[in-house]
């Protein structure tokens, strides 16, 4: 053990499997063998993370039944589930300083090997965890993994994890998953928010209840603060710890973390909704100034304590140095700042630099995972809230925004050949003197380019939190709108300048076989990413698959609910034509569904086809009205889905599946939720970008409307 590591990082340790023995961070000796059963509990289970060739991070939370004294915990690792022989036995301390969490980087393990582990404190034992190390970088092996996103505790039960577990246990050993990639929104920072509502088939809001008839909700925060809508949100490190403890009480999530190593990046809700740098975005009206440096530090600390990840201990892959760094406490103040792109306010800089999570991991010869932080370094949204609120076209400050306006604002002073307009389509250009927007920030962007260029892996899989795909809402057949709108300006569609820069880098350097796996949108999407979506003849560069949420309310339900709530009789002439493009009642047209997911039609076929759907509910007429130019790069859209994604990487290609399950309104315990559909894709390895293609998926089960 390196004792200096303990002195630097409370709750963090490094152990070597090359010496099977006992080590204590305070004194020699074993864990508290004399203590009685029940003296220590492990309420959040066990977990492992960031498998590397010969190392893994192991985690638990060991809580004393009484008092706050340190708990001495022995980690045991074995190659057999029954622990007949020990690979390692090391004793560490769980202390109040890290909320009694411990994370141990175990080194000198065998590559590409399954291990079992547990934690022992006297007469008390944790459950047994199962994990796996990565193979060496030159190993010619295939890899199977799942990727997940968006698991709001109050919205739903975690049925997708239960189905993943049951399917994996039933699979042959060589068809089982090696790890789970979590691309963000592991927790949500609010309680009593409007996440507990859903638009059902009769368009009535319903409260989701557990089998016991009680709402599944996050208990009251230790501190917390009220939001404008009455919801409470986390403000202190104890608040954020409280959220993780609640989420990790779920048995499906606990079982998943005990079965597979997780590789995590965060999105916004690990800190605050739709955040950028240390800025919150709860305020929708006159100002968006919500500097939240203290909350950012608190959120980072809790994430680091509860998510096992090798940051400072991430091994260098190839010639590019790792930039990831463990959390270190810093003292900051909530100080306002005016800049929206290059923010040098000292408290903002210090809060962000308290932890660095972007990193790359290798799994054999064919997979390089390139993991980015899409929140900490991004600029403000191109079309700021105070600009969009009150505009008749806008129902939400970051959803359904005019594409041309967002693109021009995002380009800043470089728009229009360096001559940005004062106004764009009636919007005052607040960004005309700013540099172009950024999602990654300059340092992370340079690192991303270096990794992509230097990687020798067959496939470079980019694990980011938000979709890279462009998703347009065609407004050409909508009165008073008649323009292309962006489904979400909070994703890469709101940062088009940098997306074009990154895609041009891949194109110009002939970097092939790049795949993005993302989430955030609470919907399944698949399609091709071009170097410039607005070019007369765009070139394909990579593909992107976005998975639906594990439990969070679907995208379609959320958009339909916004339009339902926004309805004002004085705006009926605008709202109703828009609303029918999203949802309509098919029963007067001979259908059986009172709420049709017409958003899928709008996205895949365009507004003309969506209008035809709302008027006829005739699938043949809908198909005939399709505009093939609308989102021609998309191959799949299921905006009302819950589930996960699966990936199988080999030397010849990547097979992916987007799994949709029936929503779990009750706790199914050990039963799998019903499977709704499986959309299967094949991405073959190519030698040049011009050969890149993505075929329509093979779909088993219930096809999303309006597919037949």
What average pLDDT does the chain have? 90
Quick check: 669 pLDDT over 80? yes
pLDDT, position 204: 35
Mean pLDDT of 59-73: 96
Three-state secondary-structure class, residue 110: coil
**Beta-bridge partners for 625:** none
Q: Give the tens place of pLDDT for each residue, 147-201.
A: 999 999 988 899 999 999 999 999 999 999 999 999 999 999 999 765 444 444 4
Quick count: other Cβ atoms within 10 Å of Cβ 407? 22
Which helix (H) or strand (E) element contains residue 671?
none
State the DSSP string of 222-234: SS-EE-TTS-EE-
Residue 284 has pLDDT above 80, yes or no: no
| Burial classification of residue 703, based on how many CB atoms lie within 10 Å of its CB (0-12 exposed, 13-18 middle, 19 or more buried) | middle
| pLDDT score for 571 | 66
**22: pLDDT confidence band, cut at 50, 70 and 90?**
very low
What secondary structure letter does DSSP report for 492? G
Q: Write down the pLDDT at residue 594.
A: 87
Pick 343 or 25 by higher pLDDT. Answer: 343
Return the exposure string of 550-568: e unless at least 16 CB atoms fall within 10 Å of the residue's CB, then b.
Answer: bbbbbbbbbbbbbbbeeee
pLDDT digit string (tens) for 614-623?
Answer: 999 999 999 9
- Of 579, 553, 552, 582, nearest in space to 566 by CA: 579
Position 196 scores a pLDDT of: 43
Mean pLDDT for 425-440 is 94
Residues pairing with 658 in the sheet: 645, 679
Q: Taking 50 as the threshold, does the pLDDT of residue 267 lie above it?
A: yes
The pLDDT score that the predictor gives to residue 192 is 76
pLDDT grade, residue 29 (50/70/90)? Answer: very low
With a cut of 80, say whether residue 23 has pLDDT above it.
Answer: no
The answer to whether 459 touches 367, Cβ cutoff 8 Å, is yes
Q: What is the largest CA-CA distance in the chain?
A: 78
Residues 295-346 have pLDDT tens digits of: 999 999 999 999 999 999 999 988 999 999 999 999 999 999 989 998 999 9
Band (pLDDT 50/70/90 cuts) for residue 283 is low
- Yes or no: say if 146 and 177 are a contact pair by the CB < 8 Å rule: yes
Provide the pLDDT for residue 575: 78
Give the pLDDT confidence score for residue 11 in this predicted structure: 83
| pTM for the full predicted model | 0.95
Domain residue spans of the chain: 1-133
Q: What is the reported pLDDT for 395?
A: 61
Supply 142's token pair: 């295939």
Whether residue 421 has pLDDT greater than 90: yes
For the segment 454-469, the average pLDDT, to the nearest whole number, is: 98
Q: Which residues of 667-684 are buried (b: 16+ CB within 10 A; e: fewer)?
A: bbeeebbebbbbbebebe
Q: With b meaning 16 or more CB within 10 Å and e meaning fewer, what string describes 259-273?
A: bbbbbbbbbbbbbbb
Q: Which pLDDT tens digit goes with each residue over 364-389?
A: 999 999 999 999 999 999 987 766 55
Task: Identify the pLDDT of residue 387.
Answer: 65
pLDDT tens-place string over residues 209-266: 344 444 588 999 999 999 877 889 999 999 999 999 999 999 999 999 999 999 999 9
The proportion of the chain whose per-residue pLDDT surpasses 90, expressed as a percent, equals: 78
In the predicted structure, residue 412 carries a pLDDT above the cut 90 = yes
Residue 376 tokens read as: 């900490």
- Looking at residue 215, its pLDDT comes to 57
Quickly tell me which residue has 């299967």 as its tokens. Answer: 680
Tally of CB atoms within 10 A around 701: 12
What is the DSSP secondary structure assignment for residue 98, as one 8-state letter? G
CATH architecture of 1-133: Sandwich (2.60)
């Amino acid at each position: 053990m390196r004792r200096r590591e303990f002195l630097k990082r409370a709750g963090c340790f490094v152990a070597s499997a090359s010496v099977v023995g006992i080590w204590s961070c305070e004194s020699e000796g074993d864990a508290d063998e004399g203590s009685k059963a029940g003296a220590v509990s492990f309420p959040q289970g066990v977990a492992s993370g960031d498998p590397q060739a010969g190392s893994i991070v192991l985690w638990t939370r060991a809580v004393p039944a009484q008092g706050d004294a340190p708990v001495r915990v022995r980690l045991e690792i074995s190659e057999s589930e029954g622990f007949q022989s020990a690979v390692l036995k090391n004793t560490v301390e769980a202390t109040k300083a890290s909320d009694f969490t411990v994370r141990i980087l175990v080194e000198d393990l065998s590559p590409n090997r399954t291990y079992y582990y547990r934690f022992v404190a006297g007469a008390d034992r944790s459950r047994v965890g199962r994990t796996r190390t990565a193979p060496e970088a030159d190993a010619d092996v295939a890899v199977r993994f799942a990727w997940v996103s968006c698991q709001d505790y109050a919205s739903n039960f975690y049925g997708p994890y239960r189905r993943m577990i049951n399917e994996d246990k039933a699979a042959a050993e060589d068809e089982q998953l090696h790890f789970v990639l979590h691309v963000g929104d592991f927790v949500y920072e609010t309680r009593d928010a409007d996440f507990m509502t859903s638009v059902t088939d009769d368009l009535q809001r319903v409260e989701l209840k557990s089998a016991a008839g009680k709402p599944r909700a996050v208990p009251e925060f230790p501190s917390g603060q009220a939001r404008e809508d009455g919801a409470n949100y986390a403000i202190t490190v104890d608040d954020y710890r409280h959220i993780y403890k609640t989420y990790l009480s779920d048995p499906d999530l606990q079982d998943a973390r005990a079965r597979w190593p997780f590789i995590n990046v965060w999105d916004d809700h690990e800190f605050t909704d739709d955040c950028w740098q240390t800025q919150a975005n709860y305020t929708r009206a006159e100002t968006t100034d919500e500097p939240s440096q203290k909350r950012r530090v608190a959120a980072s600390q809790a994430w680091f304590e509860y998510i096992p990840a090798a940051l400072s201990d991430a091994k260098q892959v190839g010639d590019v140095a790792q930039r990831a760094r463990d959390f270190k406490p810093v003292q900051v103040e909530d100080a306002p700042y005016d800049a929206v792109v290059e923010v040098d306010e000292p408290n903002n800089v210090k809060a962000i630099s308290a932890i660095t999570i972007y990193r790359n991991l290798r799994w054999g010869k064919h997979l390089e995972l390139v993991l980015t932080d899409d929140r900490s370094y991004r600029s403000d949204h191109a079309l700021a809230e105070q600009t969009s609120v009150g505009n008749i076209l806008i129902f939400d400050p970051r959803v359904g925004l005019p594409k041309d306006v967002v693109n021009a604002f995002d380009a800043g002073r470089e728009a229009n050949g360096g001559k940005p307009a004062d106004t764009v389509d009636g919007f005052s250009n607040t960004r005309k003197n700013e540099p172009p927007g950024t999602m990654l920030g300059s340092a992370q962007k340079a690192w991303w380019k270096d990794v992509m260029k230097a990687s020798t892996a067959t496939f470079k899989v980019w694990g980011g939190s938000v979709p890279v795909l462009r998703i347009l809402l065609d407004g050409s057949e909508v009165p008073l709108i008649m323009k292309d709108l962006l489904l979400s300006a909070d994703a890469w569609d709101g940062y088009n300048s940098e997306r074009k820069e990154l895609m041009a880098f891949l194109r110009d350097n002939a970097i092939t076989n790049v795949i993005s796996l993302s989430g955030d949108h609470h919907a399944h999407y698949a399609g091709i990413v071009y170097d410039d979506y607005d070019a007369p003849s765009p070139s394909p560069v990579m593909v992107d698959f976005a998975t639906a949420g594990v439990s969070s309310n679907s995208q379609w339900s959320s958009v339909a609910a916004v339009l339902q709530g926004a309805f004002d009789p004085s705006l009926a002439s605008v709202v109703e034509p828009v609303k029918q493009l999203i949802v309509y009642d098919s029963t007067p047209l001979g259908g059986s569904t009172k709420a049709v997911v017409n958003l899928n039609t709008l996205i895949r076929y365009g507004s003309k086809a969506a209008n035809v759907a709302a008027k006829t509910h005739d699938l043949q007429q809908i198909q005939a009205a399709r505009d093939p130019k609308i989102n021609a790069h998309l191959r799949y859209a299921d905006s009302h889905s819950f589930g996960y994604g699966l990936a199988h990487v080999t030397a010849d290609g990547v097979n992916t599946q987007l799994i949709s399950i029936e929503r779990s309104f009750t706790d199914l315990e050990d039963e799998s939720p019903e499977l709704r559909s499986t959309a299967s894709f094949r991405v073959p390895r190519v030698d040049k970008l011009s050969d890149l293609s993505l075929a329509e998926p093979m779909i088993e089960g219930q096809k999303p409307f309006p597919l037949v």
